[in-house]
Chain A
Amino acid sequence: EAQVTQNPRYLITVTGKKLTVTCSQNMNHEYMSWYRQDPGLGLRQIYYSMNVEVTDKGDVPEGYKVSRKEKRNFPLILESPSPNQTSLYFCASSLKETQYFGPGTRLLVL
């Protein structure tokens, strides 16, 4: 089944404790992206990647890192999480216009 998977789905952590949210797709898509969704602010793009080793900033990259070492994986790294990074995170992949979103990761930073 074609899909985008994210892990973990739910995470509670404390300020400053490094964490990684994994994203994997099995559709051989070149493009992948990370978004965060917050009430009243909508979906905002954090980082995106056009292909292996090619990444670029979205609108809200501060406090996040990404890497794209393999085509199928695009992890999101929070080196020192802060409470303002509490949010619902979505990973997406696409070949052309159609973005396929993962199920989301709900993160709470205390």
Chain B
Amino acid sequence: QKEVEQNSGPLSVPEGAIASLNCTYSDRGSQSFFWYRQYSGKSPELIMFIYSNGDKEDGRFTAQLNKASQYVSLLIRDSQPSDSATYLCAVNRGSGTYKYIFGTGTRLKVLA
């Protein structure tokens, strides 16, 4: 079992719809959770991070964390073609450590 798992996709959604990206992790000691966006040929860029159970909203993006289910998701509202990219989920193994484990990413295609 991979430590951080994501469906590779592609996930195709029409423009204006909500895109839902999911990630599961195996280490219950994981403390913080990150979503990165990576355009083809570019470097990853942080969208948002979440520490606590529940939802965290930032503009069109909402991260959801459920530690009991070891599940973190990213919702993108009003999806735009410019959101088409690969979304990487990352987990930090514990407070005070800078060890990060990344999932292999989900490719999102927003259809105009």
Contacts and interface: CB of A to CB of B under 8 A. Distances in A.
A, B from the same assembly: yes
The main secondary structure of chain B at its interface with chain A is: strand
Contact of B103 (A42, A48, A58, A97): A42
Contact of B99 (A42, A43, A45, A99): A45
B98 A31 contact: yes
A102 interface: yes
Contacts, number: 48
Main DSSP-derived SS at the A contact region: strand
Given A90-B44, A104-B43, A58 B99 contact: yes
Nearest to B3: A59
B49 interface: yes
Interface in B9-44: 32, 34, 42-44
A90 B34 CA distance: 17
Given A43-B88, A99-B46, A48 B98 contact: yes
Interface of A: 31, 33, 35, 40-45, 48, 50, 56, 58-59, 90, 97-99, 101-104
Interface of B: 32, 34, 42-46, 49, 88, 90, 98-105
